[in-house]
Amino acid sequence: MTSPTFARPQIAGRSFNINELADGIRAGKRALLARGITLVESTNPRHQEAASALLQELLADTGGAHRIGITGVPGVGKSTTIDQFGINLIEAGHRVAVLAVDPTSTRSGGSILGDKTRMNRLALQEHAFVRPSPTSGTLGGVARKTRETMALAEAAGFDIVIVETVGVGQSEVTVADMVDIFLVLLLPGGGDELQGIKKGIIEIADILAINKADGENRDRAERSAAEYRTALHLLTPTHATWQPPVLTISGLANEGLDKLWEQISEHRDRLTAEGAFEERRREQAVRWMHDMLNDALKSLLTGNPSIRTALHEAEQAVRSGHQAPSAAVIDLMKLVRDQHGVEEDASGTPTSPSPKTENTQ
């Protein structure tokens, strides 16, 4: 079957047929997987349409991986731990993809794409794939690009997909909503660490792991773990039958990572037996659709010249204090409704336009 014309995107100066690109990704060809990811990360409207066709073509090949989210404060040793953890999984027969959600500079627009050097051993493994994922400074960028990249990695045969996030903040909540299990790495230190980390991140964690629990840090790590276990009893767990365990590990010394994998596997087995695992996946897919719909609607509206001009004027009015944000939104939505012929009832609720009737006399 011949692919539609929009499905022959130019990537790095070369034209690719979507069916050929999909076949190459299914075959596990890393170069074509990288090109597919470049396609889904592009903001070019033609590329986005082609990326949608690629994802639809590969839909039946996605969903088979165990999706693991990992976060932690800077300096906690995420990359070192993932590097060793990934090698352990490969030695056990798995294929591992690591997607590192990368902070994009809000000033320069550049990204810190250093994950291949921070995970240098894992990146050299034949059955590993390490890919930084720039966020473009938006949470929507995290959600859309990381989800699509994750789907392509699954289609390429990677059965473990690890999503690493930097720092502890709102993006972690977004990532937790697209993975099967969410791991928070912590430093030995107990009380100070407990005060410094956001409660909301602990509440969405499925596993807590005190890293760098080696040498002189062992006792401190055990004390920290005990404090976190006590604190977790005061929080509502993410699932009724799963109380997040608190482990002590050392990514550098490769200690405790086998226990970590056992807990990750037990979490999946338990949720699968209850039917909660697949239900979580289905809910995530629906939220993914809504997130992308919101992005598409915003792009559609801001692409309209008159709305874009009105939006700019509204921003200036709000910035200068001459208009309240709520009033600006009402004016902008009225303009949108007028342009698209959307009528309202007496309560202000949008309704469908009245059908036009022809005069037959």
Which pLDDT tens digit goes with each residue over 214-234? 999 999 999 999 988 888 877
pLDDT at 167: 60
Q: Whole-prediction pTM value?
A: 0.81
- The yes/no answer on whether domain 62-273 falls in CATH 3.30.70.270 is no
Residue 49 class from Cβ within 10 Å (0-12 exposed, 13-18 middle, 19+ buried)?
middle
pLDDT at 134: 58
pLDDT at 231: 82
C-alpha 357 chain-centroid distance: 49
Enter the tokens of residue 309. Answer: 């001009």
pLDDT at 6: 44
Q: Which residue has the tokens 């690719």?
A: 16
Local structure of 206: helix, strand or coil: coil
Helices marked H in the chain: 18-26, 30-41, 45-57, 78-91, 115-118, 120-123, 139-155, 170-176, 191-196, 199-204, 218-232, 257-274, 276-302, 305-319, 325-340
pLDDT at 263: 97
Contact 113, 132 (CB under 8 A): yes
Give the tens place of pLDDT for each residue, 138-178. Answer: 554 465 688 899 999 999 999 999 998 866 566 777 888 89
Enter the tokens of residue 99. Answer: 């997607």
> Domain coordinates of the chain in residue numbers?
1-61, 62-273, 285-343
The tally of CA atoms less than 13 A away on the side-chain side of residue 295 is 17
- The yes/no answer on whether domain 285-343 falls in CATH 3.40.50 is no
| Spatial distance between the Cα atoms of 171 and 243, rounded to a whole number of angstroms | 23
Distances in whole angstroms, Cα of residue 169 to Cα of each of 124, 208, 228, 272, 352: 30, 16, 19, 29, 41
Q: Which residues of the chain have pLDDT under 50?
A: 1-7, 104-114, 140-141, 195, 356-361
Fold adopted by 1-61: 1.20.5
pLDDT at 136: 54
81 DSSP assignment = H
Contact 20, 113 (CB under 8 A): no
